[in-house]
């Protein structure tokens, strides 16, 4: 029994470190820059990042280390903090046909990107959306906005601190 538990713990730790490595490689690749937002691989990179980060923040939550930051997050019914925002954006990115990409009164609003300070990048029947920071990139899935630096990079750096490689 103890041997099985040790193996399970080792597998879980290996999964965590593998996901951290994948996220690190993406952040180091240069794909997450304003020059890359219109390239064919940008959306794939964001989706892959969301899948891996969602797994990591879910594991952290299960371990009692929820990433509960609410900085720059529109709190809503299903989104109370950064852990929830990452999950909801991951669901929207991964399930294209679902209602996760719907913007009330407008229709689908899927993977719309605003780079740099442009708080009025989109006007959806009077609802103005955009990026509030010169040094960031905002991505919209329906009415959910996630920032690359302030949300994804912050979550990643927090996870790296929670799960060091040589532990």
**How does pLDDT run across 130-144, given as a tens digit for each residue?**
999 999 999 999 899
- Distance in angstroms (rounded) separating the CA atoms of residues 114 and 127: 15
Q: What is the pLDDT of residue 96?
A: 83
Any idea which residue has 């029994």 for tokens? Answer: 1
Q: Which residues, 6 or more positions from 24, have their beta carbon under 8 angstroms from its beta carbon?
A: 156, 160
The two tokens of residue 88 are 């909801």
- Residue 119 predicted with pLDDT over 60: yes
Answer with the residue of higher pLDDT: 20 or 126.
20
Looking at per-residue pLDDT, the higher value among 166 and 56 belongs to 56
Global pTM? 0.92
Q: What is the mean pLDDT of the chain?
A: 93
């Amino acid at each position: 029994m103890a041997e099985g538990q040790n193996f399970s713990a080792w597998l879980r730790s290996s999964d965590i470190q593998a996901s951290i490595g994948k996220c690190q490689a993406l952040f180091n690749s240069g794909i997450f820059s304003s020059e890359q937002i219109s390239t064919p691989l940008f959306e794939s990179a964001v989706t892959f990042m969301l899948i891996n980060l969602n797994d990591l923040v879910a594991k952290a939550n299960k371990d009692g280390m929820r990433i509960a930051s609410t900085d720059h997050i529109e709190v809503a019914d299903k989104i109370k903090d950064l852990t929830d925002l990452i999950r909801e954006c991951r669901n929207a990115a991964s399930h294209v046909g679902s209602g996760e990409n719907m913007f009330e009164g407008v229709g689908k609003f899927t993977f719309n990107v605003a780079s740099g300070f442009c708080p009025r990048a989109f006007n959806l029947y009077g609802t103005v959306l955009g990026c509030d920071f010169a040094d960031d990139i905002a991505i919209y899935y329906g009415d959910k906005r996630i920032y690359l630096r302030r949300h994804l990079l912050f979550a990643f750096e927090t996870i790296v601190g929670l799960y060091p490689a040589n532990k």
